A and B are shown apart, each in its own frame.
Chain A
């Protein structure tokens, strides 16, 4: 009952504010979009630093690098070069080693397999909230209110506008065509 009321009320509230269907992350991207290159690179370094630090602590496959690779924000681009690339076969053969078992309820994705074997990967819900798609749409004057017709051939692909949008739906492509 609460959810039923909350969703339309939230939609109306945001509509009245003139900020319908915009995620917080989109607002963040908008706020940094004209930063100088150096500052963007610094933000990237910071993100990369915390990412590697987090995975060295929490992911089995990367724990071995904790003692051998020294992490520092200024030299993070050098540090990442010491980590071997991740191929699709690595994921297929050792999926469990790459999963963060501290988090729960991931969203499962399966690649179409056009470039190699099918690969199953997982994403945390928080990752879904931080997508560049909304910003890319904004760059092209596409807003959620506009009707979309989506053509796809993949049966594994999931499509949605934004997790925080009231009309968000998670629907698999059952057929070639999917309409929103």
Chain B
């Protein structure tokens, strides 16, 4: 986004004073950086939602500091919709098992083992017009048998970072972050979606 657009967004922000700010990760970060660099006044909002791109730690820190609000990470794609989201605890991402069937598979389409990286395949369970069965999202994930039972899905994804290709635009140094594990319980399953930095 160029400075003209950022200035326009700032004006609208002051006019609207939104309680919720939702945006493509990089757009939100650019806007937050603009506020910092130009030292402009910005009223705080209640919550920010990051979608569409990898949420890097530096993005999260900057956005939360500028808007003085918690940043929720959400895994959203045009094809699949709102697949997973963090809750207020920000411990992981929840998805709705009655809407999605998610698989994390290796290159020969076997389920990856505990802690291993695999590609993310999504089946949308409510599609009727256009089937997305085992749809290859081009995103990557780590499979883990961890569960926390405080929300709808019981299957959580600890961290989402998606779309390797997005990152080429901004940073050529790509590496895969190791996702930290939560205490595991036997016989429970949990999905961790990871990404690259």
| Interface residues, chain A, with chain B CB atoms under 8 Å away | 29, 32-34, 37, 40-41, 43-44, 47-48, 51-52, 54-55, 59, 61-62, 80-81, 83-88, 98-100, 103, 106, 109-112, 114-116, 119, 121-124, 126-127, 130-133, 135-136, 139-142, 146-154, 156-157, 176-177, 179
The smallest C-beta distance from A130 to any residue of chain B, in angstroms, reads 5
- Assess the A86–B128 pair: CB atoms within 8 A: no
Q: Mark B74-85, 1 if CB is under 8 A from A, else 0.
A: 100111011101
Range of interface residues on B (Cβ < 8 Å): 35 or more
- Assess the B154–A37 pair: CB atoms within 8 A: yes
B24 interface residue (CB < 8 Å to A):
yes
- Assess the A54–B128 pair: CB atoms within 8 A: yes
Across-interface contacts of B27 in A (CB, < 8 A): 151-153, 176
Residue in contact with B128 in the complex, picked from A33, A88, A127, A151, CB distance below 8 Å = A127
Across-interface contacts of B53 in A (CB, < 8 A): 114
- Assess the B152–A135 pair: CB atoms within 8 A: yes
22 contacts between A and B (CB under 8 A): A41-B97, A48-B123, A51-B125, A55-B131, A80-B101, A81-B109, A86-B134, A106-B129, A112-B52, A121-B79, A121-B130, A127-B127, A130-B126, A132-B96, A139-B88, A140-B87, A149-B22, A149-B45, A153-B26, A154-B52, A156-B78, A179-B16
- Assess the B123–A152 pair: CB atoms within 8 A: no
State which residues 122-156 of B face A: CB under 8 Å: 123-139, 147, 149, 151-154
Number of A-B contacts (CB under 8 A): 219
Across-interface contacts of B81 in A (CB, < 8 A): 131-133
Across-interface contacts of B96 in A (CB, < 8 A): 29, 132, 135
- Assess the A85–B134 pair: CB atoms within 8 A: yes
- Assess the A37–B149 pair: CB atoms within 8 A: yes
Given A106-B130, A115-B138, A148-B19: 4 more A-B contacts, CB < 8 Å: A80-B134, A103-B128, A147-B19, A151-B22
